[in-house]
């Protein structure tokens, strides 16, 4: 419920203005849970309702006293505000988003201090939910929806990287899906961990300290290296894409140490093995973007999105599909999926000696093939039983050939 501060008349929570005098209504509070900020003004906006609580702070709904424009106001928790690094990160979030000014980066309006010596940040009010909540309980997204989200995030990252800004903490909880008539309209949140390459500023962490959510952290971040660049964000985006398409966290493990070990030394199960409805071509796309050595990844997030669209048989530019209605992308994906697949070429069918290709290693038809471990240097090392350099299929054909040769030899001796 909400109440008019002028006439004290109560209204349902969806009624934002008093029907008697047009005054902005304020959220009613339970006697044992009173928030002193409600009804007060922070910057140019009145705090009218509590929206959510997070680890760093509380989010409020705010209204401009004259225009009555609706905004979100994020205020650091008191214990967080005492930490100098947290305050600097919060301020960096505001400064970065303000400078970027991109349709898929949350729009910020004000930054300031509260009466109780905390900090607040005013931003556009978004209706929707975080991608992390959508993916909760192992849910995956429909293919077209996942691609649309990918395209919008990639455009925002490409824009940020062109300014030298690296997000460094990209995760589903920092990808907000705002509702629109055409489908999801993405906003990237929390550029507080940003690293600015073009200028020298205050460091938010000491060298050797990892920054970022562990499940989506790049190998270079996991190792505490200082040479983090846009390809770390690309790695995180690929891990998010993997989760959107499969419903699984790419580098799931029970504790932080094992998560980091998996990120540095293992590759996740190919997505088309986890979800057979996916095109096999997406396996190579995600594997490249998750390469342990950043030099082996795509040159940027936009290139990753282009490759993902191509893997699903969708032609066109990333920016084009990011803005077009979801229904059109759904049609394009369905049409490509229904199209007859080209026959395997003789060259592809030819058995070759030597190190098996990535597609041979990850083929869903070879369920018994071993999992290859990728080291921090980006090179692959096959298990001992395959030190011959031959793929399992090639070994099988070699065995068949030997048997035929022995039978033929025996037949000659019997003559």
Compute the residue count for the chain. Answer: 415
- Fill in the DSSP letter of residue 24: B
Neighbours of 320 (CB within 10 A): 14
- Closest by CA to 323, choosing from 181, 206, 221, is 181
Q: Report yes or no: 357 and 390 within 8 Å, Cβ to Cβ.
A: no
φ/ψ of 379, rounded to 5, equals -105, 150
**Straight-line distance from the first to the last Cα atom of the chain, in angstroms, rounded to the nearest whole number:** 100
Sorted by sequence, the CB contacts under 8 Å of residue 382 that are 6+ apart come out as: 355, 370, 372
φ/ψ of 87, rounded to 5, equals -65, -40
The catalytic site residues sit at 169
325: left (phi over 0), alpha (psi -120 to 50) or beta: beta
- Closest by CA to 286, choosing from 252, 240, 333, is 240
Q: Report yes or no: 314 and 147 within 8 Å, Cβ to Cβ.
A: yes
Neighbours of 167 (CB within 10 A): 28
Which residue stretches of 60-174 are H helix? 78-81, 84-100, 131-134, 143-162
φ/ψ of 4, rounded to 5, equals -80, 125
Whole-angstrom CA distances from 134 to 31, 52, 176, 243, 295 are 33, 17, 10, 11, 32
């Amino acid at each position: 419920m909400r109440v008019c501060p002028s006439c004290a008349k109560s209204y349902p929570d969806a009624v934002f203005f008093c029907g008697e005098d047009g005054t902005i209504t304020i959220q009613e509070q339970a006697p044992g849970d009173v928030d002193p900020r409600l009804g007060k003004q922070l910057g140019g906006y009145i705090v009218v309702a509590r929206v959510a609580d997070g680890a760093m702070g509380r989010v409020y709904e705010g209204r401009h006293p004259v225009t009555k424009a609706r905004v979100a106001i994020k205020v650091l928790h008191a214990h967080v505000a005492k930490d100098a690094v947290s305050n600097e990160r919060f301020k960096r979030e505001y400064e970065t988003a303000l400078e970027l000014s991109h349709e898929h980066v949350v729009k910020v309006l004000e930054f300031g201090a509260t009466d109780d010596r905390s900090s607040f940040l005013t931003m556009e009010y978004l209706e929707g939910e975080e991608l992390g909540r959508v993916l909760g309980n192992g849910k995956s997204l429909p293919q077209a929806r996942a691609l649309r989200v990918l395209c919008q995030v990639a455009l925002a990252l490409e824009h940020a990287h062109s300014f030298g800004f690296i997000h460094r903490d990209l995760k589903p909880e920092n990808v907000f899906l705002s509702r629109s008539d055409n489908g999801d309209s993405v906003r990237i949140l929390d550029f507080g961990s940003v690293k600015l390459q073009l200028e020298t500023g205050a460091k938010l962490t000491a060298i050797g300290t990892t920054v970022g959510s562990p499940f989506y952290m790049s190998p270079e971040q996991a190792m505490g290296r200082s040479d983090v660049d846009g390809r770390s964000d690309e790695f995180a985006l690929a891990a998010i894409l993997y989760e959107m398409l499969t419903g699984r966290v790419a580098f799931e493990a029970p504790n932080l140490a094992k998560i980091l070990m998996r990120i540095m030394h293992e590759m996740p199960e190919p997505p088309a093995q986890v979800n057979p409805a996916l095109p096999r071509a997406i396996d190579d796309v995600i594997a490249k973007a998750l390469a342990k050595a950043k030099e082996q990844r795509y040159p940027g997030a936009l290139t990753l999105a282009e490759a993902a669209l191509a893997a699903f048989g969708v032609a066109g530019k990333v920016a084009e599909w990011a803005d077009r209605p979801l229904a059109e992308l759904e049609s394009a994906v369905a049409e490509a999926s229904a199209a007859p697949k080209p026959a395997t070429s003789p060259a592809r069918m030819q058995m070759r000696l030597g190190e098996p290709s990535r597609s041979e290693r990850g083929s869903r038809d070879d369920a018994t093939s071993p999992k290859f471990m990728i080291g921090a240097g980006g090179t692959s090392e096959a298990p001992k039983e395959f030190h011959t350099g031959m793929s399992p299929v090639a070994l099988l054909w070699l065995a068949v050939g030997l048997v035929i040769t022995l039978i033929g030899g025996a037949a000659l001796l019997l003559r």
